[in-house]
Amino acid sequence: MVIALRPLLALLLLFASSSWAMSLEEAQTALSGRDFQAKGEAIAQLARSDDPSSAPLLAALSRGDLFYVKKGGQLVVRTPEGYQDLAGQPLTLRSSQLKRVVMNNNLRRQLSQSLAERQLGDADSGVRLAAAKELLGKLDDNLTPLLQAQLAKETDDEVKTALAGVLAYEQLKDAEPAARLTAVETLSHWHHPQVLAALQQVRDTDADKAVRLAAGKAAGSLEHTQSVYSGLETLFFGLSLGSVLVLAGIGLAITFGVMGVINMAHGELMMLGAYTTFVMQKLLPDAPGLALLLSIPMAFLVAGAVGVVIERCVIRFLYGRPLETLLATFGLSLLLQQAVRSIFSPLNQSVVMPSWMSGSLFINDFFSLTLNRLVIIAFSLLVFAGLMLLLKRSRLGLEVRAVAQNRAMARNMGVRSARVNALTFGLGSGVAGIAGVALSQLTNVGPNLGQSYIIDAFMVVVFGGVGNLWGTLVAGLTLGVANKLLEPFAGAVLAKILILVAIILFIQKRPRGLFPQRGRAVEG
């Protein structure tokens, strides 16, 4: 009899467990309903689920980005790119077709605790660290025991520091001075802006003198550390701006420095490179990274070809007459701008940044480096090295240097100066096009893009030394760093004016720049 009842008992237990446990599909359906108790059960079920869609679903719910379709109840996640289903597939929906998943305070507390439990127990220490930092200043009575338990078993030193810091941050509110003093000591080792602000407040407002003194010492140490990292950040931004100036000026250093041509259309050649990137991304909309890489040679070819046409049709008739080349190329710049407006419209166009250039390289909570600026710094150095290699190791480079030093002698030695002129101008124009590719990752692409950099490019070339590529590199990086150092005190416009005045004074003392070089512009 007992044996006969065992299968029936097993069936009853199975039925009971299936009726008590909510399936993943039922949990998702419950979120679009109005029953808050069912939503709480759904959140608990999703937090326990190993399904890969449950984590982003809960994260979207906590951000307020989880919606459901009014007809059918399908859950939809809102992202900066648009709406997606739970599998990450894009959906074409209007906001009028959707309704946000409604939450109350109890559900928000439950969701916060569920996300914390899920993320703090993750095998990846980076996920645990991010979860701990997310709880800074947000602890409640339910989450404190969870963090204490996690701290006791945590093995990663950085995560342990963050967990201890989150708990100590709440301990600053303790009624006992000894507890607050312990909290200050713990927080003094955590480099975090919010921690620094809390210690500054304790230093200024705490009732206990010993706590105030300890908080003042800890805050002073963190302020010093923050100022050091702030200086490094300013240096980094200066180098990134300087790398852009190097890219803008390096092509001009060839056309202006080597050939003696004042090319006012140089900025528009950079603009053509930026628009080449825009067109390549239109041709490859699903692969922005590949489109960007292909844009580099394409921009070089497009801008270089336009440069050769300009040299053959206009510049070759104006050698030795710099004022006339200035006027002629200024007219060409207007023509190129109007051509772009007619083809692409006068509105700015946006270029998608590849995923491998998005985000930041995290150093600590006081200092991080944006990846797009890091890539552009490396890219400018790579372009510089490639151009130096071309000019030093190739036949074209030998002929360019020969013509630059003595045109008549080079012609007598069999160098076809007309061909060298066209190729040199095309090379400088192609490098300008490559600079436009880099600029497309920092700003919107528009008909006036080049006008923002043409004056800076001339400043770099003149300051570094006409025709000297090493001078262009040093001058570009120097001006970029100087500009970022002056901006906090003088503002962006006044900083540029001060730098211009400084260059004028410098040129009065050294008319040929930092690294003077003999070329056509200084012959005779």
CB 201 within 8 A of CB 185: no
Sheet holding 98-100: strands in order across?
A: 90-91, 82-84, 75-79, 66-69, 98-100
What is the DSSP secondary structure assignment for residue 349, as one 8-state letter?
B
Q: At what angle do helices 266-283 and 209-252 cross, to 10 degrees?
A: 100
If asked whether residues 99 and 178 sit together in one domain, one would say no
Which residues lie across from 369 on neighbouring strands? 361
The average pLDDT across 275-298 equals: 90
CA distance 34 to 126: 36
CA distance 87 to 72: 17
pLDDT in tens, 347-380: 888 888 888 888 888 888 888 888 888 999 999 9
If asked whether residues 45 and 143 sit together in one domain, one would say no
Which domain-ending residue is among 207, 236, 270?
A: 207
Q: What is the pLDDT of residue 335?
A: 92
Say which residue the tokens 């109890």 belong to.
106
CB 128 within 8 A of CB 157: no
If asked whether residues 37 and 133 sit together in one domain, one would say no
Banded pLDDT at 434 (limits 50, 70, 90): very high
Q: What is the pLDDT of residue 11?
A: 42
If asked whether residues 101 and 140 sit together in one domain, one would say no
The average pLDDT across 116-140 equals: 78
Q: In this model, does residue 116 exceed pLDDT 60?
A: yes
Of 6-15, 26-35, 191-200, 336-345, the poorest mean pLDDT is in 6-15
The average pLDDT across 95-120 equals: 78
96 occurs within a structural domain: yes
Q: What is the pLDDT of residue 404?
A: 67
84 — phi, psi (to 5°)?
-135, 155
Residue of 40, 48, 38, 94 lying closest to 67 (CA atoms): 94
Q: What is the pLDDT of residue 405?
A: 67
The average pLDDT across 429-447 equals: 89
Which domain-ending residue is among 106, 141, 170?
A: 106
Residue of 41, 39, 82, 37 lying closest to 61 (CA atoms): 39
257 occurs within a structural domain: yes
The average pLDDT across 270-298 equals: 90
Q: What is the pLDDT of residue 1?
A: 44
Higher model confidence: residue 88 or residue 276?
276
CB 263 within 8 A of CB 454: no
Residues spanned by the domain of 195: 121-207
If asked whether residues 86 and 194 sit together in one domain, one would say no
Q: What is the pLDDT of residue 295?
A: 92
Burial of 271 (0-12, 13-18, 19+ CB in 10 A): buried
Q: What is the pLDDT of residue 323?
A: 81
- The answer for residues whose C-beta is within 8 angstroms of residue 176's C-beta and 6 or more apart is none
If asked whether residues 335 and 409 sit together in one domain, one would say yes
If asked whether residues 404 and 472 sit together in one domain, one would say yes
Q: At what angle do helices 177-187 and 193-205 cross, to 10 degrees?
A: 150
Q: Tell me the two tokens of residue 226.
A: 């923050």
**How high does pLDDT run on average in the chain?**
82
441 occurs within a structural domain: yes
CA distance 466 to 320: 16
Report the 10 Å Cβ neighbour count for 343: 10
159 occurs within a structural domain: yes
CA distance 183 to 171: 6
Question: Residue 459: which CATH number?
Answer: 1.10.3470
Q: What is the pLDDT of residue 361?
A: 85
CB 462 within 8 A of CB 510: no
If asked whether residues 73 and 184 sit together in one domain, one would say no
Higher model confidence: residue 163 or residue 302?
302
- First CA to last CA distance, the chain: 119
10 occurs within a structural domain: no
If asked whether residues 445 and 516 sit together in one domain, one would say yes
CB 372 within 8 A of CB 440: no
Q: What is the pLDDT of residue 517?
A: 61
Report the 10 Å Cβ neighbour count for 73: 13
Of 125-129, 218-222, 330-334, 386-390, the poorest mean pLDDT is in 125-129
Residue of 467, 463, 474 lying closest to 513 (CA atoms): 463
Q: How many domains does the chain have?
A: 3
The average pLDDT across 72-89 equals: 79
Q: Tell me the two tokens of residue 446.
A: 């528009």
Q: In this model, does residue 119 exceed pLDDT 80?
A: no
Residue of 267, 237, 418 lying closest to 340 (CA atoms): 267
Q: What is the pLDDT of residue 257?
A: 63
User: How do 360-364 and 367-370 pair as beta strands?
Assistant: antiparallel
Most confident segment among 28-32, 146-150, 405-409, 433-437: 433-437
Q: In this model, does residue 118 exceed pLDDT 50?
A: yes
CB 388 within 8 A of CB 224: no
pLDDT in tens, 481-522: 998 888 888 887 888 888 888 888 888 888 777 777 654 444
pLDDT in tens, 3-54: 444 444 444 333 333 333 456 677 767 777 777 788 778 777 777 776 777 7
If asked whether residues 308 and 196 sit together in one domain, one would say no
Most confident segment among 222-226, 254-258, 451-455: 222-226
If asked whether residues 171 and 97 sit together in one domain, one would say no
CB 246 within 8 A of CB 457: no
8 occurs within a structural domain: no
**What torsion, rounded to 10 degrees, do the Cα atoms 465, 325, 330, 419 define?**
-80
56 occurs within a structural domain: yes
Say which residue the tokens 């304790």 belong to.
202
Banded pLDDT at 106 (limits 50, 70, 90): confident
115 occurs within a structural domain: no
If asked whether residues 201 and 316 sit together in one domain, one would say no
Q: What is the pLDDT of residue 12?
A: 39
CB 158 within 8 A of CB 129: yes
Higher model confidence: residue 256 or residue 192?
192
Q: In this model, does residue 2 exceed pLDDT 70?
A: no
Q: What is the pLDDT of residue 258?
A: 67
